[in-house]
Amino acid sequence: MRPVLFFLLTFPLAAQQPDGARGAAIYSSQCAICHGRQGEGGRGPSLARARLRHAPSDESLMRLIRAGLPGGGMPGTWLNDFELRDVAAHVRSLGRFPRPPVAGDAARGETVYLKAGCAKCHTLRGEGGAFGPDLTGIGSRRNAGHLRASVLDPAADVPAGFVLIHADKITGARVNEDTFSVQIRDASGKLHSFWKSALTSLRKEPGKTAMPSYRGTLQGEDLDNLIAYLASQEDLP
Ligand code: HEC
Ligand code: HEC
């Protein structure tokens, strides 16, 4: 361990009060872009809630901010322990704001979800296809505005970890890849496994979507209800 880090870790943090202004400044420069200015959420989940799924205690909150959630789209930071403590205190203070209300009727949204064929590509609570990302608990990872954008304009923000691959004539989502082989799931849910040496072409398009846009297909009340349904998907206990 580097000496400076050791010093910071052993310094009695509890002896000092968090610096609220510094926490707010770090939050607006490094976190608000994904979590919203008031923690209302966006690409990242709303932080304006009393209980955070991944951060039940202040220690776990600081650890999470330092390390991020790799794979979930949350980057780590290089903040020192004082800055971590300040920004964590700011995140806790956001819990005082109520979550923005979501228009629409979640119960009726389930019908829209099934009718529109979303389950062909997405799993929700263990049921459905596996081509797109699992939507179980999606309401606690993304806010309503982001969910609406995902449905109307999927190409705008492809979730971290999703990579579209063309291997010879097969197009699909990357499931696994190493130096020698690649596994791909096509839109029908079928898994394909290839030795790279046996392929004539292998093309990756990270950031490219394989989800159709529903702009024009879903609108008005149906769209509101669908978004309310997705936003109501909290993590399974
Ligand atoms: C590039 C976008 C992005 C940035 C920047 C970002 N986050 Fe996140 N954050 C996310 C995403 C996405 C998740 C959800 C990941 C998951 O659930 O797997 C998340 C999750 C979290 C969680 C867990 C929420 C819960 O309910 O448990 C906390 C707390 C958090 N972020 C705080 C922060 C703080 C503080 C900063 C700034 C230092 C920050 N984030 C910067 C995208 C971001
Ligand atoms: C042909 C397959 C397919 C269908 C049908 C489909 N999706 Fe998707 N969806 C995907 C793929 C692939 C992704 C990941 C790439 C992306 O976001 O563009 C995705 C991403 C998403 C995301 C973003 C998830 C995240 O973690 O941010 C949401 C939300 C979503 N879909 C909802 C829906 C809803 C609601 C429907 C039905 C109205 C639907 N999808 C229909 C394939 C599909």
Task: Note the pLDDT tens digit of each residue in 165-198.
Answer: 999 999 988 988 999 999 998 888 889 999 999 9
Three-class DSSP labels, the chain: CCHHHHHHHHCCHHHCCCCHHHHHHHHHHHCHHHHCCCCCCCCCCCCCCCCCCCCCCHHHHHHHHHHCECCCCECCCCCCHHHHHHHHHHHHHHCCCCCCCCCCCHHHHHHHHHHCCHHHCCEECCEECCCCCCCCCHHHCCCHHHHHHHHHCHHHCCCCCCEEEEECCEEEEEEEECCCEEEEECCCCCEEEEEHHHCCCEEEEECCCCCCCCECCECHHHHHHHHHHHHCCCCCC
Q: Output Rg (C-alpha) for the chain, integer angstroms.
A: 21
pLDDT band at residue 2 under the 50/70/90 scheme: low
Give the chain's domains with CATH numbers.
3-94 (1.10.760.10), 106-159+211-231 (1.10.760.10), 163-206 (2.30.30)
Contact yes or no for 8/58 (Cβ under 8 A): no
Query: What is the CA(88)–ligand 1 centre distance, in A?
Result: 12
Ligand 2 centroid to Cα of residue 218, in Å, is: 14
Q: Identify the band that residue 159 occupies on the pLDDT scale cut at 50, 70 and 90.
A: confident
pLDDT band at 102 (very low <50, low <70, confident <90, very high): confident
Ligand nearest to the CA of 138: 2
Span 4-39, pLDDT tens digits: 555 555 555 545 688 888 999 999 999 999 988 888
Q: What is the pLDDT of residues 135-145, one digit of tens each?
A: 998 887 788 88
Give the residue, by CA position, lying nearest to ligand 2 atom 23: 150
For residue 221, pLDDT beyond 80: yes
- Residue 7: the pLDDT is 53
Q: What is the dihedral of CA 187, 189, 195, 198, to 10 degrees?
A: -50
Section 111-140 average pLDDT? 91
Select the more confidently predicted residue: 206 or 129: 129
Ligand 1: list residues with CB < 6 Å.
Answer: 30-31, 33-35, 43-45, 47, 52-55, 61, 64-65, 69, 72-75, 77, 87, 91, 140-141
Whose C-alpha lies nearest to ligand 2, atom 7? 211
| Ligand 2 atom showing the smallest separation from residue 157 Cα | 17
Is any ligand 2 atom within 6 A of the Cβ of residue 43? no
Provide the pLDDT for residue 25: 93
- Would the CB of 158 count as within 6 Å of ligand 2? yes
- The whole-number average pLDDT for the span 84-88 is 94
What's the pLDDT at 28? 93
Nearest CA to ligand 2 atom 17: 158
Cα of 208 to ligand 2 centre, how many Å?
12
Nearest alpha carbon, ligand 1 atom 7: 74
- The residue contributing the CA closest to ligand 2 atom 14 is 132
**What is the pLDDT, as a whole number, of residue 145?**
82
Length of the chain: 237
Q: How confident is the model at residue 151 (pLDDT cuts 50, 70, 90)?
A: very high
Hey, which of 22, 30, 34, 78 would you mutate to test ligand 1's pocket, going by the most ligand atoms within 8 Å of its Cβ? 34
Per-residue pLDDT tens over the stretch 36-77: 888 888 888 888 877 788 888 889 999 999 999 988 889 999
| Type of residue at 91 | V
